């Protein structure tokens, strides 16, 4: 069936860049775009009138941790609250290999559905689940059964790049608050074997909505042998790899102490970097005020290798930190993609924060522009994933289309719709979403989801996460203390 969308503005791709077309049209037949431009001369089976709306390519969340949204109350503990992941030394081996389960399978499914609904409602049509069930094990796993996550995503209509995360070691904190490491090299390679088998079994399935990649968790918790093996496996099977890189100061210090170089240099020396590699965060590179060194060295290595950076400004802004800077990375020739990391999964707000903080870090009003961060959330993510069919509206592209209501009061008169979206918009302004030509959001509601049921069930899942957090903390800190509250929240007393 051929559908024609007549919008107030269409962001059409001309083969090199996005071009805004006022009173434009987008035509698509099934999963493929037929036309994007001023006026289409074909015949459509369905016409969607969208005056006052922006027709945009679907947004690509290039770095997310699907299923952690219900952990949101834990993301900003008050000053002085003890850190996360505390374990007595005797618990270290168990913590690495067998973290106790936090959720039942039904709760895992609901947690994943909650997250995917939020992503779709905010205009994300493709999300990279950057570390499977790995990185937030200390509070409760995201959907540990990635097959179940892919099934849920296919039902809702969102494209997911899924992974089974793995690592060689894990940092933990003893009773005195001292950071220590537990290493298990065999466990890391076992994880790679499982992750590779999962990726080969599931990529390209579920009507093309299920994709897969390899995700060694981070530079500092994967051994050189594991990183080399990952690079070899990815090249042999043509898989994307994403890894957390240069995300903490202590990571930079540890890599320098062990190998005499930065995390980016370490990956380059191992032959890990390449055009199929996405570096998550990559904030603490040379040129950052807290890293020092040659300000061009790390960025040159990334650009020369053709690797991409998935930028998630919000989690670092919460810690009082930021990338130095978005404009500098782009000027170095690095492909910049956009990710939401954890919560909230609103890629529109993430674009705005990248725009503002990029100017602050670069100490210039000139860069980045609104178009720069919009490009990162569309074309940049597509380039990082090796998907020239995504992130654009052009003949032959996949029909991932988002309608954003720019007629709402807070936008005011619209001169440039991309600028209006980045400076004034949020994910709540998304009205309609198509993924592969299938309408999955209408009037801000996910059509294949029972949103009230999921919202009601979320409180029970959250209580399970709180119980798990309390059980895993050897000093037994109460959740209300962790949150800096002087009362018991109703959600915990229910």
Tally of CB atoms within 10 A around 438: 16
Q: In what order do the strands lie in the sheet with 277-281?
A: 241-245, 277-281, 308-311, 335-338
Model confidence, pTM: 0.91
Q: What is the mean pLDDT of the chain?
A: 87
Backbone dihedral region for residue 481 (phi beyond 0: left; psi -120 to 50: alpha; all else: beta): alpha
Say yes or no to pLDDT of 134 above 70: no
311 membership: H or E segment, kind and range: strand 308-311
19 membership: H or E segment, kind and range: strand 18-22
Total count of residues recorded for the chain: 494
Residues 282-295: pLDDT tens digits?
999 999 999 999 99
Helices 146-156 & 105-121, crossing angle to 10 degrees?
Answer: 40
**What does the pLDDT average to over 143-150?**
76
Q: Which two tokens stand for residue 320?
A: 């009082």
Say yes or no to pLDDT of 84 above 60: no
Say yes or no to pLDDT of 120 above 80: yes
The answer to whether 220 touches 254, Cβ cutoff 8 Å, is yes
Distance CA 277, CA 239 (A): 9
Q: Give the three-class secondary structure for 314.
A: helix
DSSP 285: -
The two beta strands, 124-129 and 59-64, are: parallel
Which of the pair, 92 or 390, is modelled with greater confidence? 390
Half-sphere exposure at residue 223, Cβ-oriented, CA atoms within 13 angstroms: 16
Q: Which two tokens stand for residue 193?
A: 């074997």
The answer to whether 280 touches 247, Cβ cutoff 8 Å, is yes
**What does the pLDDT average to over 451-458?**
91
Band of pLDDT at residue 186, cut at 50, 70 and 90: very high
Q: Which two tokens stand for residue 467?
A: 């119980």
Question: What CA dihedral angle connects 390, 392, 393 and 398, to 10 degrees?
Answer: 0
Helix segments in 388-476, DSSP class H: 417-424, 451-472
Residues 409-426: pLDDT tens digits?
999 999 999 999 999 999
Tally of CB atoms within 10 A around 395: 13
Which residue do the tokens 């009205």 mark? 431
Residues 88-117: pLDDT tens digits?
444 444 444 555 556 788 888 888 899 999
Distances from the Cα of 61 to the Cα of 37, 54, 216, 232, 364, angstroms: 25, 19, 19, 26, 26
DSSP string, 168-208: SEEEEE-TT--EEEEE-HHHHHHHHHHHHHHHHHHTTBGGG
Which of the pair, 134 or 457, is modelled with greater confidence? 457
Residues 457-475: pLDDT tens digits?
888 887 777 777 666 655 5
Distance CA 187, CA 177 (A): 26
Q: Which two tokens stand for residue 433?
A: 């979403």
Which domains are seen in the chain, by residue range?
2-57+394-446 (2.30.40.10), 59-384 (3.20.20.140)
- Quote the percentage of the chain above a pLDDT of 70: 84
The answer to whether 469 touches 74, Cβ cutoff 8 Å, is yes
- Quote the percentage of the chain above a pLDDT of 90: 71
Say yes or no to pLDDT of 439 above 60: yes
Residues 32-72: pLDDT tens digits?
999 999 999 999 999 999 999 999 999 999 999 887 666 66
95 membership: H or E segment, kind and range: helix 92-97
Which residue do the tokens 């654009």 mark? 392
Residue 170: predicted pLDDT: 83
Which residue do the tokens 């995917």 mark? 116
Residues 203-220: pLDDT tens digits?
999 999 999 999 999 999
Residue 492: predicted pLDDT: 65
Q: Which two tokens stand for residue 334?
A: 């690095």
Q: Which two tokens stand for residue 256?
A: 């320098």
Residue 138: predicted pLDDT: 37
Task: Name 65's Cβ contacts closer than 8 Å, sequence gap at least 6.
Answer: 129, 130, 131, 135, 136, 142, 341, 342
The answer to whether 346 touches 377, Cβ cutoff 8 Å, is no
DSSP 73: G
Residue 38: predicted pLDDT: 96
Cis previous bond, 344, omega within 30? yes
The two beta strands, 445-446 and 335-338, are: unpaired
């Amino acid at each position: 069936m051929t559908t024609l969308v007549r919008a107030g503005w269409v962001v059409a791709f001309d083969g090199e860049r996005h071009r805004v077309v006022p009173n434009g049209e987008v035509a698509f037949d099934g999963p493929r775009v037929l036309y994007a431009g001023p006026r289409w001369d074909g015949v459509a089976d369905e016409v969607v009138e969208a005056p006052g709306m922006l027709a945009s390519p679907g947004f690509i969340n290039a770095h997310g941790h699907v299923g952690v949204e219900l952990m949101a109350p834990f993301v900003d503990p008050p000053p002085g609250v003890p850190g996360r992941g505390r374990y007595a030394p005797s618990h270290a081996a168990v913590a690495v290999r067998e973290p106790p389960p936090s959720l039942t399978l039904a709760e895992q499914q609901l947690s994943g559905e909650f997250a995917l609904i939020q992503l779709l409602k905010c205009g994300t049509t493709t999300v990279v689940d950057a570390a499977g069930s790995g990185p937030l094990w200390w509070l409760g796993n995201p959907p540990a059964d990635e097959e179940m996550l892919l099934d849920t995503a296919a039902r809702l209509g969102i494209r997911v790049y899924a992974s089974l995360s793995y690592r060689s070691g894990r940092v933990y904190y003893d009773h005195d608050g001292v950071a220590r490491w537990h290493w298990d090299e065999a466990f890391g390679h076992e994880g790679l074997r499982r992750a590779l088998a999962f990726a080969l079994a599931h990529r390209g399935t579920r009507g093309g909505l299920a994709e897969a990649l390899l995700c060694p968790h981070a530079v500092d918790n994967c051994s050189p042998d594991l990183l080399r093996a990952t690079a070899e496996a990815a090249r042999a099977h043509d898989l994307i790899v994403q890894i957390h890189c240069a995300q903490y100061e202590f990571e930079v210090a540890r890599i320098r102490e062990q190998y005499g170089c930065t995390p980016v240099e370490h990956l380059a020396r191992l032959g890990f970097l390449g055009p199929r590699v996405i570096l998550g965060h990559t904030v603490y590179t040379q040129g950052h005020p807290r890293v020092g060194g040659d300000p061009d060295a790390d960025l040159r290595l990334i650009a020369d290798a053709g690797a991409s950076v998935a930028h998630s400004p919000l989690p670092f802004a919460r810690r009082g930190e930021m990338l130095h800077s978005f404009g500098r990375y782009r000027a170095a020739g690095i492909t910049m993609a956009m990710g939401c990391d954890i919560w909230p999964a609103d890629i529109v707000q993430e674009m705005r924060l990248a725009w503002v903080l990029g100017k602050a870090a670069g100490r210039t009003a000139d860069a980045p522009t609104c178009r720069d961060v919009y490009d990162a959330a569309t074309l940049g993510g597509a380039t990082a994933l090796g998907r020239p069919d995504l992130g654009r509206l052009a003949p032959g592209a996949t029909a991932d289309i988002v309608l954003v209501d720019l007629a709402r009061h807070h936008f005011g008169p619209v001169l440039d719709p991309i600028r209006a979206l980045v400076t004034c918009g949020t994910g709540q302004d998304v009205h309609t979403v198509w993924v592969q030509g299938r309408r999955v959001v209408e009037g801000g509601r996910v059509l294949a989801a029972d949103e009230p049921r999921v919202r009601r069930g979320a409180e029970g899942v959250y209580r399970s996460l709180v119980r798990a957090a309390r059980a895993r903390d050897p000093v037994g800190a109460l959740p209300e203390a962790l949150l800096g509250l002087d009362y018991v929240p109703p959600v915990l007393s229910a």
